[in-house]
Structure 1
């Protein structure tokens, strides 16, 4: 509880029984936000505290922009009207006062002349109310972007205020007090708390700890919105009409959320809605992210490593192995190197408690032997990396071997179970932007545990090999391998030949591969993987990683930076959001519509002319598409970057297209070793002929036909290199034909289409 009197601030720790004077700050207005942070408006500007007034940080200057009050919606938005020679101006903050921006006050006819001394008000949905010099009351429902007449009392006004019932009160100079008949907002603000429900009764009991940084999913009919818990596990959410359901999705299977349902018409807003998370397994869940904003040859760069334990118990003796590209020269790191094995650097983390995280940097120099356009990679692997209570599943991994005149592709099932059904693979020439023209080869595969599939393809300058993951895999991320400069006669000046597996579907492994660049847009957003062709195709289950970079290209130090990033919640599942590495500490706020606000308070980012390297910053996160998002859907994402009080810098609009349009090449698409077979005709009507190429004519083979549920319909044996099959009882559709040798080893597979 706080009290402001004669510009002196007091705090009561016991609900008003005693009061303590807070020294070091004076003010004329005070605002308190749900997470307990304070804003106080003083003669010298605005100050902010996150520790009950013990320490204050300066967030907005005084001078000509001194206001007489701070307005707030009680959630995250704050406003200040200030006097200027023409009437009044407006300053706005969307991150609880950390960063501010000026707003032009306009209506359809141009500038509006507000009376700064007539009072202003703000309701709980951030609608603004202010009086003009001629007595009208104007309102804005878009945070001050535009204003329209709300009513006209015909009297000069002295003050405006909004009551807890959201009705507007207007005090005139000579004609008394007026109140609107209806509320300015039908919205009510609900207060909630997420906690660790240790005894699993969905009731918050004494001693049960709050859980910060949790996304709360709120469903109101078909409408889905979100909230985000602060450092104390608290959140606020605006409710209007109807029934609401609250739950807290988890990034892993170790937690289960209690589900709370309320009715807006009967819910008591004085009550806190407690949502418990229950531990299903006692197990750590280790996650790591490694990132670098850019690479320049012959220059130093920082690599950022972020790690966390999202499990239910502490991880004992944790450590991270970081594998650096051979063209990265290690210089120093923020955490001591425990050991070095070749290009792998080990960093000891120690015991990492549940729901905790950490970060450190590694400074490297990019070798001068690299060339512009070359790609260089780094990988981080955090331990312990064992998962609890995983059922048997397939685990598909790709690899490749450069043979000079060709490339051998390999798909292996490293899991403990057979695949549930056939999946597609494709090899793409990334130097060709047209998807159809860039497809080198494609096909289907089905593997038992421990089995592998091999095929040779022609060489190309830069090949991306993708195999879909099996549905039984808990992470469901396709496996990707990149083959660069595989050639028996490399072209002079071509990149160094390399083969990189790009998989990072498991949360305990993270990789990046960046291109060495000379110049670049300093304020941009990039999504990884880049995607295939100019349409940027991605698999339906592909997790996306976004990196938002910013640079202070101004002429002075930037004290505060804010990034506003509206997640397209119709296409991306916000409940899968996983925060990654960043260049500087930040505070994250998520509004109900899914907009992310990253606020870097006191970042003190120097301008690029003073310190080019230190003028850069970035933030990153991972997120998955909504399940069963249709093929061809375009996912777009952009951000707005605010440096102090300057206008927003708009980034590019990043995009991806859902669904890789793999056209399986039926004829000669499957090869294991030297064995190939084709089907003629395919599709077939009544019968078809199977021709084996390069087979051992004296060996016995077995041909099996399976449906897409992997049910074997028939098996035939043969000794020759040709066998004719009949339609028999096959209904129209797709089937799998697989060939096994006498040792019952699968040596080839392809699809058969029946008309």
Structure 2
């Protein structure tokens, strides 16, 4: 019996159930397919398994126990119809299909809501070839500049490698493992190969320019290796990252922070300082993590030694939230790294980790930083987005394998993807726009047997595509699979591409100023009503000065490109100590 016939039978049962449980007064107003991908993990040697992933949303009230109907035409003469749950205005689907013969295939998807609204999207084309061959390679720091990966040299890991067919413009991505190696099967043809390592400020040396040309011939293995140099013998690019779930009044909540050497160059030693707002305070180390080296009433400090490879310095801690904290407020912790050697990018040395005060926490969830402003999560285009996925085994036995499938928004640039940190050893692959994180032999205990060790997480960064229109939304949802159980679907994060706010016109007595833009990404312009000398200072929410400029001849510019994203107070003062103060939101 065909899959489509079986699923149609199930659909008839579902229709009967829905007729008895749906709220007739609830009416959806629109439906949209946000992401529809057709892909294969091999693209080679038919028959092969193809994958179709879908993410979409609706507007309007969702009837109780609602579902949407999906019709897929696979593009090879076969099709199927089935239903998926529709909850909180979102619906998702992953389905596989065997393509029995080689060719170029485009699939189409039509979604139909319970009140007959529809949307259709076409995915592909996907090429299945019988003339494939492997392309392999190694990325490394070429310490002796001999264009050979020698024993003792440092691999460059976890970046993406973009591979473009010069004839068809088809783009493929390979992903570096922890040893800096990649491997991918490609149809025969000519390709350009370009790793995405610009984030770490490395200088390509072999080949010069960082791009290689290869010809894939069926039956033969091709190789493209890439060697890099540090910017100088002493320069590094150290970054600090951190995540918190939420703050609960009267309880401890965990905060994680870690140091990353983005360009894999010698990072020296240094300190990491964590500064808390009045409502939060350090409680104790998390699990087996060590205590801080020093602490005061609102700060703690850790000392670190040279981080090896991607990340070797990590800390987990419990943070106590004052019982008087206001529900719904957002409280932010500042984490700052002070390296002992020259840093080529000090903008990523400080971050602000924010979380909401509430009484609930989902152990399987997804977060994005920066969250952006307002309900839409407004950000300026070009902002790097850091995603954090939590998962916990809340079952009643050990989970031997955990797989996380994360369908990335179609408006995110896959070439900028970078894995930052995971809780356990992981294999990363991409199928279309879906990132697949597979934790084999994780042996994750259930929360009843060992609560502390029942957790896991994934951290990665990615940027939006260039040139996105204002109002473009970036949605992201993960599906978490424990062994062979059904997926646990996380919440959906939301960011929206927005323009800087309009000019602020402010006055106090004889002092008048125009300040723009707000939010600010790179600089703030201050225009005054006379040509006297003024001072302008930017303070964080703890009152510390993070930037200052002198304003002369009626106009001044403050550089905030290296100021961590967050909310600040800008104060402009004249010679008679008249001041104007306004909130400034810095977004990167």
- The TM-score range, normalised by the shorter chain, is 0.5 to 0.7
Which residue of 665, 675, 679 maps to 2:511?
A: 675
The equivalent of 1:448 in structure 2 is none
The equivalent of 1:382 in structure 2 is 337
Which residue of 623, 626, 631 maps to 2:465?
A: 626
The equivalent of 1:517 in structure 2 is 358
Q: For 1:657, what is the secondary structure of its paired residue? A: strand
TM-superposed CA distance for 1:127, in Å, is: 5.4
Whether 1:368 and 2:320 are equivalent positions in the alignment is no
Once the two structures are overlaid, the 10-residue window that deviates more, 552-561 or 235-244, is 552-561
The equivalent of 1:13 in structure 2 is none
The change in CA–CA distance for 1:567 and 1:695 in structure 2 (over 3 A counts) is closer
> Matches of 2:437 and 2:472 in 1, distance apart?
27
Whether 1:330 and 2:272 are equivalent positions in the alignment is no
When normalised by structure 1's length, the TM-score is: 0.49
> Matches of 1:547 and 1:702 in 2, distance apart?
44
Q: For 1:281, what is the secondary structure of its paired residue? A: coil
Q: Output aligned runs, 1:252-331, within 5 Å.
A: 252-256=200-204, 258=207, 259-264=210-215, 269-282=220-233, 283-311=235-263, 313-326=265-278, 327-331=280-284
TM-superposed CA distance for 1:553, in Å, is: 3.8
TM-superposed CA distance for 1:384, in Å, is: 0.6
The equivalent of 2:485 in structure 1 is 646
TM-superposed CA distance for 1:360, in Å, is: 2.3
Q: Output aligned runs, 1:154-193, within 5 Å.
A: 185-193=130-138
The change in CA–CA distance for 1:199 and 1:305 in structure 2 (over 3 A counts) is same
Partners of 1:559 and 1:605 within 8 A in 2 = yes
TM-superposed CA distance for 1:207, in Å, is: 6.3
Q: For 1:110, what is the secondary structure of its paired residue? A: helix
Q: Deviations over 1:44-84 (max 9, x none)?
A: xxxxxxxxxxxxxxxxxxxxxxxxxxxxxxxxxxxxxxxxx
> Matches of 2:42 and 2:378 in 1, distance apart?
44
The equivalent of 1:212 in structure 2 is 157
TM-superposed CA distance for 1:511, in Å, is: 2.3
> Matches of 2:179 and 2:185 in 1, distance apart?
19
Whether 1:637 and 2:585 are equivalent positions in the alignment is no
> Matches of 1:343 and 1:677 in 2, distance apart?
35
Partners of 1:210 and 1:232 within 8 A in 2 = yes
The change in CA–CA distance for 1:547 and 1:129 in structure 2 (over 3 A counts) is closer
Partners of 1:227 and 1:592 within 8 A in 2 = no
Pair member with larger Rg: 1
Partners of 1:286 and 1:385 within 8 A in 2 = no
Greater RCO structure (CA 8 Å; 6+ sep): 2
Once the two structures are overlaid, the 10-residue window that deviates more, 203-212 or 187-196, is 203-212
TM-superposed CA distance for 1:532, in Å, is: 3.0
Partners of 2:201 and 2:237 within 8 A in 1 = no
Partners of 2:392 and 2:454 within 8 A in 1 = yes
The change in CA–CA distance for 1:661 and 1:270 in structure 2 (over 3 A counts) is closer
> Matches of 2:180 and 2:306 in 1, distance apart?
23
TM-superposed CA distance for 1:321, in Å, is: 1.6
> Matches of 1:598 and 1:542 in 2, distance apart?
24
Q: Output aligned runs, 1:437-448, within 5 Å.
A: none
The equivalent of 2:539 in structure 1 is none
Gapped regions of structure 1 (runs ≥ 5):
1-104, 112-121, 131-137, 152-182, 391-473, 476-505, 679-691, 707-740, 748-755
Q: For 2:256, what is the secondary structure of its paired residue? A: strand
TM-superposed CA distance for 1:619, in Å, is: 2.4
Q: Output aligned runs, 1:56-67, within 5 Å.
A: none
Partners of 1:555 and 1:609 within 8 A in 2 = yes
Which residue of 403, 413, 434 maps to 1:562?
A: 403
The equivalent of 1:731 in structure 2 is none
Which residue of 393, 416, 432 maps to 1:576?
A: 416
Which residue of 368, 375, 380 maps to 1:527?
A: 368
The change in CA–CA distance for 1:578 and 1:507 in structure 2 (over 3 A counts) is farther
Q: For 2:324, what is the secondary structure of its paired residue? A: coil
The change in CA–CA distance for 1:275 and 1:267 in structure 2 (over 3 A counts) is farther
Partners of 2:161 and 2:193 within 8 A in 1 = yes
Q: Deviations over 1:374-430 (max 9, x none)?
A: 333322222217645x6xxxxxxxxxxxxxxxxxxxxxxxxxxxxxxxxxxxxxxxx
The change in CA–CA distance for 1:332 and 1:261 in structure 2 (over 3 A counts) is closer
TM-superposed CA distance for 1:694, in Å, is: 10
The equivalent of 2:171 in structure 1 is 224
Q: For 1:372, what is the secondary structure of its paired residue? A: coil
Partners of 2:284 and 2:291 within 8 A in 1 = no
Q: Deviations over 1:250-292 (max 9, x none)?
A: 2132433633433435588334321222333221221111212
Partners of 1:194 and 1:276 within 8 A in 2 = yes
> Matches of 2:419 and 2:204 in 1, distance apart?
20
The size of the alignment, in residue pairs, is 424
Once the two structures are overlaid, the 10-residue window that deviates more, 635-644 or 226-235, is 226-235
Q: For 1:316, what is the secondary structure of its paired residue? A: coil
Partners of 1:286 and 1:507 within 8 A in 2 = yes
Q: Deviations over 1:539-564 (max 9, x none)?
A: 11322222223333434343332211
> Matches of 1:345 and 1:702 in 2, distance apart?
39
Partners of 2:45 and 2:130 within 8 A in 1 = no
Partners of 1:128 and 1:143 within 8 A in 2 = no
> Matches of 2:298 and 2:555 in 1, distance apart?
48
The change in CA–CA distance for 1:704 and 1:295 in structure 2 (over 3 A counts) is closer
Partners of 1:217 and 1:249 within 8 A in 2 = yes
Q: Deviations over 1:652-695 (max 9, x none)?
A: 33232212363446xxx1558732279xxxxxxxxxxxxx9899
> Matches of 2:485 and 2:414 in 1, distance apart?
29
Question: What is the root-mean-square deviation in Å for CA atoms of aligned residues?
Answer: 4.3
Q: Deviations over 1:216-270 (max 9, x none)?
A: 2223344433212223322112322543111223213243363343343558833
Partners of 1:215 and 1:248 within 8 A in 2 = yes
Q: For 2:371, what is the secondary structure of its paired residue? A: coil
Q: For 1:211, what is the secondary structure of its paired residue? A: coil
When normalised by structure 2's length, the TM-score is: 0.61
Partners of 2:137 and 2:224 within 8 A in 1 = yes
